Amino acid sequence: MKMTTADAIVRHLIVQRVMVEPLPGAPAVEMPLVPGVFAIFGHGNVTCLGHSLEMNRESLPVWRGQNEQGMALAGVAYAKAMRRQQFTVATSSIGPGATNMVTAAGMAMANRLPLLLIAGDAFRSRLPDPVLQQVEHFGDPTITVNDAFKPVVRYWDRISDPAQVLSSLPQAIATLRDPGDCGPAFLGLPQDVAAMAYDFPDEFFETVVHQPIRPRPDSHQRERAVEILRNAERPLIIAGGGAHYSLAEAEIADFAMRRGIPVVETVAGKSTLLADHPRYGGPIGVTGAAAANVLAAEADVVLAIGTRLEDFTTNSWTAFAPDAQFIGLNAARFDAVKHRSQPLVADAKEGLRELDARLGDWRATAAWTDRGTEMQHDLDSFIAARTAPDDVLPMSYAQIVGAVNAQANPEDYLILASGGLPGEANVNWRSLGVATFDLDYGYSCMGYEASGGWGAALARATATDGEVFVLTGDGAYMMMNSEIFSATLSGAKMTMVILDNEGFAIIERLQVNQGGASYNNMLRDCTGDTGVRVDYAAHAASMGAHATNVSTPDELSAALLDARTRAETCVIVVKARESDWTESGAFWQVGVPEVSQREGVVAARARLDEGLKAQRRGV
């Protein structure tokens, strides 16, 4: 079939289908592998790719974003909400439209999430060079700004001939679906190449129904892991994001229950277990709970399932006993071998099933299982105390999180990212439904909140009647809020709660706690502060949201109940305390000056050096 390069890309994407489990435990149904495209058109993509998308609008929906970064972040959130079973496309013109998407690519890369990025590019022929928005490199004319994507994608290609689509696009799709190598893929599409016609083979447009990919473990790796577990007395499971992407939550919950093993969760793995599960040990790490960190410190074997073991999980590798052994059950070999772990390179569900089948009647000691129960009770009491109203206004972050949690049901979905909320929600939010919590702390991308809420709302529109709750601080809101308008424009419903403490308060906390002076984080500390403040409710209302201000717990609860009855996106603004944080007691390594004229900085450096003595060495 003779068609343009751009049209071939669109039509090949349309015929890709996939068997999707829409909800945990539900029968798999055939759905589009690519359910839609997030697009902002410009001269680099509107006349060819945009034309093809318009011609195929019934088969491949297009959602218009307001900012290329925001729409690409929405695509990341869509993939997370669908647990990597589907992915979307984000397309931009050349120049600033393309580089705006680099941040979103970095977030997808850090979090192992699929997103296909297609950006316009300069002419292959170079005859009209330099074209509008082209950045020229005097010594290398092959470089364009699209080369900036190379460090933040798993797959990168520039299509310089129509025939290359036949090999490159399937490779990109394979990367996006690979359990171990999943991440964003990028295609640069020069304007003349996008317009070129080519005789594409009919087979390229035949329907393909993709099945879940579940690699099984190597038998030698499995037997070594079984041996380590059989000798464990105080085993601990860390559930990471891979637990969700494998849809292994039920297997982990059952395995932990029968084997008497406490389960702690990473930020990406939160809501693997429900908060009332008897083996739930809480969130581990710097933004975690003291109870979970106690279990980590006492464990002799750690079964790390689907986690990349970032520093906020490992407390900069001070969380565990020096002689603790690790088993890395992970689809990604790179993650499975970290810190001298015994690798078990496999799908989380299949790997755990094979471990379970080989363990016989082994289980953890009764004393250790009881220790897990004790820590769970400590965690429950801690959360109850942190979230309880205290008749002091403004409310604390923990109290606001608790108030939203109290209005939530098992079908609701929570999305948040940066600032003070990760520590507050990770600890104080009690998961009511499996895979209902999306906190970006792999990239901690300020601005993900509104964008991610839009993407999650689109993904969950047909799967559940639950609400998509978005929690964001005032600082992150100001970073990127335009996708509130995208949500109202597309009819996607989310309920956003803005916690206003007038600044980047969590960074001010770090600044002061490490001996520095408060500076340039809180609005009151900014050079030339005029006292002007943003009316967030009025701002959100101007983008089509139903917006309201609240100040008390009762007003917040009433606003949340009202929001559930509305069809449109709702924004609730609540003043929050500047400094009232949930403490984990965990160590975190940050750069503190070795010398300083401030006594506080010198003291902070001494604390850092002391903490580093417990750091586990590894690669």
Q: What tens digit of pLDDT does each residue of 257-274 get?
A: 999 999 999 999 999 999
| Omega before 130 within 30 of 0, i.e. cis | yes
User: For residue 395, which phi and psi values (nearest 5 degrees)?
Assistant: -70, 155
Same domain, 280 and 253: yes
Residue 312 lies in a domain: yes
Same domain, 185 and 226: no
Same domain, 375 and 451: no
Same domain, 89 and 133: yes
From residue 106, give the alpha-carbon distance in Å to each of 87, 99, 260, 307.
16, 11, 38, 18
Last residue of a domain, one of 172, 193, 210: 210
| Coil, helix or strand at residue 16 | strand
Residue 594 lies in a domain: no
**Alpha carbon of residue 14 to chain centroid:** 26
Same domain, 335 and 411: no
Domain range holding 254? Answer: 219-379
Residue 603 lies in a domain: no
| Pairing state between β 37-39 and 413-416 | unpaired
pLDDT band at residue 464 under the 50/70/90 scheme: low
Same domain, 366 and 398: no
Same domain, 7 and 151: yes
* CATH assignment of the domain containing 287: 3.40.50.1220
How many other CB atoms are found less than 10 A from the CB of residue 147?
16
Percentage of the chain modeled with pLDDT above 90: 98
Beta bridge partner(s), residue 210? 18
Beta bridge partner(s), residue 439? 416
Same domain, 405 and 431: yes
Residues 391-438: pLDDT tens digits?
999 999 999 999 999 999 999 999 999 999 999 999 999 999 999 999
Residues 299-320: pLDDT tens digits?
999 999 999 999 999 999 999 9
Last residue of a domain, one of 379, 405, 426: 379
| Coil, helix or strand at residue 100 | coil
Residue 96 lies in a domain: yes
- Is pTM, for the whole model, over 0.95? yes
Residue 606 lies in a domain: no
Q: State how far the Cα of 443 lies from the Cα of 12, in Å rounded to an integer.
A: 31
Q: Look at the chain and report how many structural domains it folds into.
A: 3
How many other CB atoms are found less than 10 A from the CB of residue 143?
13
Q: What is the pLDDT of residue 461?
A: 87
The one-letter code for the residue type at 462 is T
* CATH assignment of the domain containing 146: 3.40.50.970
Same domain, 366 and 514: no
Residue 593 lies in a domain: no
| Coil, helix or strand at residue 351 | helix
Number of continuous H segments (helices) and E segments (strands) in the chain: 24, 23
